Structure 1
Amino acid sequence: MWYRFLTLPLRTGGEIMANLDNTDEKLTTQDDFSELFIKYIDAMVDFEHFSRETLVDVLCRLARSFRLTKVVTEFYMSSVDEKDGKGEILCDFNEGSADIVVLKKELISRTGAIVRTIAYSAKGTEHLSNKEEQQLDICLRSMMSYIGRNRMQKAIENLAFHDNNGYPNFAYFFRHLEKMNKTGGFNGFTAIMYSLKNFSVINRDLGFEEGNAVMKAHFDTLRDMIGNSGTVCRVGGDNFAAIFPNEMLEKILAFFEGTPIIYDRLTSSSAIVSAYAGVFIIPSDFKYERPGNIVEMILPTCQTAKISDEADVVYASMQYIEDKENVSKIRRHFEEALNNYEFHAYYQPKVNVETGRIIGAEALCRWIRDGRIIPPMDFIPILERNTDIFRLDFYMLDLVCKNIRKWLDEGKNVVRISINFSRKHLVDPELLDKIVSIINRYDIPYEYIEIELTETTTEGDYLKLKKLVEGLTKIGIHTSIDDFGIGYSSLNLIRELPWNVMKIDRSLLPISSTDPKDFSTVLYKHITTMASDMGIECLTEGVETAEQVQILRDNYCLYAQGYYYDKPLPLDEFEKRLEIGQYPIN
């Protein structure tokens, strides 16, 4: 082991007594001490049949043989913990007045852990002889070695299988799965991964300290529900995993629907917490090879539940297994597709509804493989699960810049082109520099580039998004907030970030204008008015009918994008549209 408390290792009592008999100053110990000490050491090292009661009993009998009244052992992981009073004080023998310190021993491990044992006696007690003091010294050292090793093993166990907040971690969950596989298998069990809904809102409204208390109370409640029949762990952030018998599933899913969680018993303060969940009811013919076999079923289904508009609970199924195989195929072919230039930019025009003039376009990625277009929804979500989406987004920006450079060199009509960037990029502190570097490589005037970004869901991402938008705007690159109105933080985002363009999601566009008091009509009117008053360009996506175009005109939304004007067009067709420059006005 990487630490050592004693030069004297833990051996059997007989071995230690034999060692004492061979010392320079041979001890002629009493028969009762020899017998008790052997029992004492043997009780420590009998791991298979360990009995704490037996160990304490022998300890007490030894203490009485030395005429002690109290024995105290202290354990601290560090000197800092000792100063802060964060440690353990053990006292299994306390039978009188502790007036005099008979012997005090202290050992410090290489890691800085401190073990200290103090033996006391009462006033007027006969002093220990030299032989007795040596015997007591050996007893206390043995005790410190045992307690120190035991506590360090527990500390190492805790560090390996618990996170910094004390939650069982993924390694703990994996170990539990391995034990289940060895002891009875998974038939009759359900595995889930769940994510607390909108927990950033709870943290924002209550504060992080109370938010942590809410999370811990929710976790403890579920752990108590599962009991010893399964386990639950924290994966990270507000994400957790659990496994339990099938008959508990209905009760647990009901718990996830939204339950008041009391997080402060003194004030009875509570918060309603709900969750998304990915569920895998483990079939009887399930073939387990490693813990990842189960995690691979519940992790993506939980992610799907979080982004789904239809259900908060998603079940892993045979269809899901087929989907997983499709994920593997997409990832295998992605590198080859990049090298073979299989990804193309299709351009969907943006149109001024008053004049019909093409004022811009959105570059949309299309994957053409073996003559077939692979729909974006078949590969974009897969690439967003890792850093592949970074490479695709930069590829698309490079391709768009190359096309703009071609148009400029040929003297063609050029309009501003918007390129989508996944919010996943926000983890990259050099994102702004990378975007500018690609644009500068083709010497593209910044006025022809617009970066489209979607709303964020966390405070950390919001701050990174704010920094990026401010940086782009400062140097003259347009930014647009995509799908405005479908995220909870929309109003805060347009209030604090210097957007150039607001793209209103198609879900907010009224189908018709027959009822001016209709909720969707009123809402759309106020959004467009707000954008106009703030000096933000307003564009509505998903415009499909002449009536919707008129709704935009009536509400002073100047720009539209949608199938009413054009679908996303391949490069050559879009260039023809640019030559004409506008659409008929109805």
Structure 2
Amino acid sequence: MFLERFITSLPIRITFPLVLFLAFVIVSIFEAYLEKKTSFRRIEEESREHICSITAEFQELSEYFISKNNLNLIERRIADLSANQFLKLILLVDPEGKVIISAQKKLKNDNLEDALKSGAKKYHREILSIINELRKSPKMICKISEDTNKILSVAPVLFPSETKKLRPSNLGFLIMMYDLEGIKEKHRKETLVILLSEFGVMLFLLGTIYLIFSKLIGERLETLLRIVREIKKGNLDIAIKLEGNDEFSLIARILNDLIRRLKTYIKYDSLTGIFNRFALEHNIKELLKESSENQRNILIFMDIDNFKEINDTFGHNFGDILLRLFAKRLRNVVKEGIVGRLGGDEFIIFLQDHGETNIQEMLNKWISELTSPYKIKDNIIEISITAGITVHQGKDGDFYQLLKESDIALYYGKKKGKNISIIFDDSIKLQEEKRIKLSNLLKFALDKNEFFLVYQPIFDLKTRRIVSVEALLRWKNGNELIPPSEFIPILEETGMIRDVGRWVIEEACKQIKIWSDKGLREVAVSVNIDIQQILEDNFVTSVTDMIKKYCVKSGLLKFEITESEAMKFPETVIQTLKKLSYEGIEISIDDFGTGYSSLSYLKMMPVGNIKIDRSFVKDLPEDKDDRILTKAIIDLSKNFGYRTTAEGVETREQLIFLKEIGCNFVQGYYFSKPVSPDEVEQLITNENEIFRHKWIL
């Protein structure tokens, strides 16, 4: 693993020659090892045979000249042999053990043992052992010493005697010692010279191979690496030019094809075929750089209203078809400029002019064509569009600023009811700055105890008494009272509504207990809940825990959820509301008639009360349409077994009309604005005196 990581960590133009060099070194070392082992064995054998041959030859020669009593010739022959630098010892010993001839003059006339100790100190015992063996069996012995450094050769020499029989008493010895280690060392040096020569040749060949590799492979590889580095930098306006049919040419062709595909993928949206976010940003930035001072830069951010409902109703495949058809129309209506899809159902248009274009008029014309009915799978789909526009002069503003401003304008268009075009201006900028400021302040409002509740009484039209109060959230930051219409949407957008909503429920439970402990007549408290709270896994458990904690009687805590919120996740909402209803909490549908609800879902909900939105009440009884709609809601509620509460009642005429058409409860400024808990106590305690004149109908 280490070797693999090491090799792959280096460029191939370095790795390949390095591996080649290492392979050569390993082979050379192995070859030298084998050469040494086999050659030394061969040298030992050849040297032993050579010494044995010399010893045998000299044995015969010595016996002949001894018989002739001519030792001078033997001495000359020994002198000739002594010229061999590796022949370290030559002794001719007579039967009495006296050295009669020696290559070393100082050993002549010494006895055998002394001569051996002087001339072959390390090996004298081994030689004496051989001589003792020869006395028993007189035949030449030629062997390698025990430490393999010398060749020891000993041959019996017959000296003349009165009897011609061979006896130990007339045997002398010829002793030779050959330096095997010296010849090995000589061979070692010769081998080293040969290996160095071969190594030089191999290095030359290796260098030649590397140059060829560098030229034929390295340069082609470097070309590929250079292109890959350019791709990494984001430069796709490149092509690889490598001729041939080798593997590198094949890789080059594959990379060129991938670059072409990548350019398409990076530049164009895969669903609609128009520019994607990357291409939009790149092209708009380039145009902004080249923009002149008298040129207007116009960025339009638009999306399809309620596109999620289309997906939920018809399916995502259906929605994808609609997006493709919409993008096709968008390309056709925008004759000049850049068109792209930012994501989802969000589209961007970028234009440049010199002030001659009436933006609103042009956009209205486009929207008229874009919103004409779409026919998809035998379905006729009608859509609306909300657009946010920002306009900058010359080089004022970059891409991100334009995108942010148009997005903010789009956001405010959605808040105003959708199906509208909003141009970003200073007033929107101030609103957005305020929204951001409030969002930051809201993060700490709960910890700083800046929230408080007020309560608006709800009256029973039959008994003319206060039967419940609606808990309404208020926020006071320092000395400034922030309107609910400004901060509640921010709580919902940021998700802080979950924590704040939990606090509201607990405060309501706490207030119920306070009133109960004071012996006040029992009135229910109605709390508004958000869909984000309902979707929490532990919502029902946390509510029941608070009810138990503050000993809230069944029926004294009520929840209100708006019609539009209830329809976002109807199945989940139904299940959660059923659990809450089982715990004795009455459920009201708030702002009924302003949203989009399904009666089939409505009848499955454990609803006890329908609250008629103030928008239907404010023009009663003069407005004919409001009279019809309000009566229809009350009649529908009765048929379902629900009671009704009218919100926003401000006049006696409204009260009379609502009583006549069978409304059960009323709530509004006609009777009381939202008040503090202490004021609620006063209203309940003295309601007959306070509200007597209100009931004179």
TM-score (norm 2): 0.60
Residue-by-residue CA offset, 1:449-491 (whole Å, 9 max, x unaligned): 1121112379753333333322322322122111100112264
- Find out whether 1:564 has 2:665 as its counterpart: no
243, 253, 257: which is aligned to 2:350? 243
Q: Give the AA of the match of 2:647.
A: E
Deviation, 1:164, is 8.8
Match of 1:411 in 2: 519
Bigger mean CA offset, 185-194 vs 518-527 = 185-194
**What secondary structure does 2:590 align onto?**
strand
CA distance in 2, matches of 1:371, 1:570: 17
Cα distance, 1:563 vs structure 2: 1.0
- Equivalent position of 2:131 in the other structure: none
Equivalences for 1:386-465 in 2 at 5 Å? 386-456=494-564, 461-465=569-573
Cα separation, 1, equivalents of 2:314 and 2:371 = 17
Among candidates 245, 255, 258, match of residue 151 of structure 1 = 258
Q: Select 2:683's aligned residue among 567, 577, 580.
A: 577
Aligned residue identity for 1:382: I
1:527 aligns with 2:637: no
**Which amino acid letter does the alignment assign opposite residue 535 of structure 1?**
G
| Residue of structure 2 in register with 1:323 after alignment | 431
Provide the secondary structure at the position in 2 that maps to 1:340.
coil
Letter in 2 for 1:464: T
| Alignment CA distance shift 1:11-1:176 (3 Å) | farther
Contact kept in structure 2, 1:170 and 1:235, CA below 8 Å: yes
Give the whole-Å Cα distance in 1 for the aligned partners of 2:646 and 2:419: 27
Residue 658 of structure 2 is aligned to residue 546 of structure 1: no
Given the superposition, is the C-alpha separation of residues 165 and 492 from structure 1 closer, same or farther in structure 2, using an over 3 Å criterion? farther
User: What is the aligned partner in structure 2 of residue 197 from structure 1?
Assistant: 305
CA gap of 1:365–1:52, structure 2 versus 1, over 3 A, is closer
Alpha-carbon distance in structure 2 between the residues aligned to 1:142 and 1:8: 24
Residue aligning to 2:372: 260
CA distance in 2, matches of 1:322, 1:407: 43
Equivalence for 1:102: none
Alpha-carbon distance in structure 2 between the residues aligned to 1:379 and 1:549 = 31
1:239 shift after superposition: 3.8
Aligned counterparts of 1:387 and 1:213: Cα–Cα separation in 2:
33
Task: Quickly say closer, same or farther: Cα 1:43–1:185, change in 2 above 3 A.
Answer: farther
Cα distance change on mapping 1:296 and 1:363 into 2, 3 Å: farther
1:494 alignment partner in structure 2? 602
RMSD value, Cα: 4.6
2:381 alignment counterpart: 271
Compute the displacement of 1:183 (Å).
5.5
* TM-aligned CA deviation for residue 531 of structure 1: 0.5
Secondary structure at the residue paired with 1:468?
Answer: helix
Over 3 Å counting, the alpha-carbon distance change for 1:198 and 1:150 in structure 2 is same
**Of residues 340, 349, 358 in structure 1, which corresponds to 2:448?**
340
CA contact (8 A) 1:193 1:241 kept: yes
Most deviating of 340-349 and 325-334: 325-334
Q: How many residues align?
A: 493
CA contact (8 A) 1:455 1:490 kept: no
Alignment match, 1:140? 247
Contact (CA 8 Å) 2:302, 2:386: kept in 1 or not? Answer: yes
Alignment partner, residue 509 of structure 1: 617
Unaligned 5+ runs, structure 2: 1-6, 25-204
For 1:107-122, list aligned pairs within 5 A: none
Structure 1 residue 51, shift from structure 2 partner: 9.1
Once the 2 structures are TM-superposed, how far is the Cα of residue 218 of structure 1 from its aligned partner? 0.8
Runs of 5+ consecutive residues of structure 1 not aligned to the other structure: 1-5, 64-138
Q: 1:51 to 1:358 in 2, by over 3 A?
A: closer
Say whether the 8 Å CA contact 1:11–1:45 is kept in structure 2. no
Equivalent residues of 1:10, 1:142 under 8 A apart: no
- Aligned positions of 1:142-221 closer than 5 A: 142-144=249-251, 147=254, 151=258, 158=265, 184=291, 188-203=296-311, 206-221=314-329
Relative to structure 2, which stretch is displaced further, 333-342 or 167-176? 167-176
Match of 2:36 in 1: none
Residue by residue, what CA displacement relative to the aligned partner does 1:313-366 show, whole Å, maximum 9, x if unpaired?
222211111112212321232244323322221111111122211011111112
Query: 1:346 touches 1:365 (CA, 8 Å); kept in 2?
Result: yes
Give the whole-Å Cα distance in 1 for the aligned partners of 2:622 and 2:435. Answer: 45
Q: Distance in 1 between matches of 2:269 and 2:238?
A: 26
Task: Report deviation, 1:524.
Answer: 1.6
Residue in structure 2 matching 1:361, options 449, 458, 469 = 469
Residue type of the partner of 1:245? Q
Q: Aligned equivalents of 2:343 and 2:534: distance in 1?
A: 22
Mapped contact 2:504–2:527 kept (Cα < 8 A): yes
Q: Distance in 1 between matches of 2:381 and 2:662?
A: 42
Deviates more, 1:576-585 or 1:500-509: 576-585
Instruction: Give CA-to-partner distance per residue, 1:519-559, whole Å, 9 cap, x none.
Output: 32222212101101211121011111111111111111110
Deviations 1:45-91 (A, max 9, x none): 77589999984xx65xx35xxxxxxxxxxxxxxxxxxxxxxxxxxxx
Question: What is aligned with 1:135?
Answer: none
Shift of 1:372: 3.9
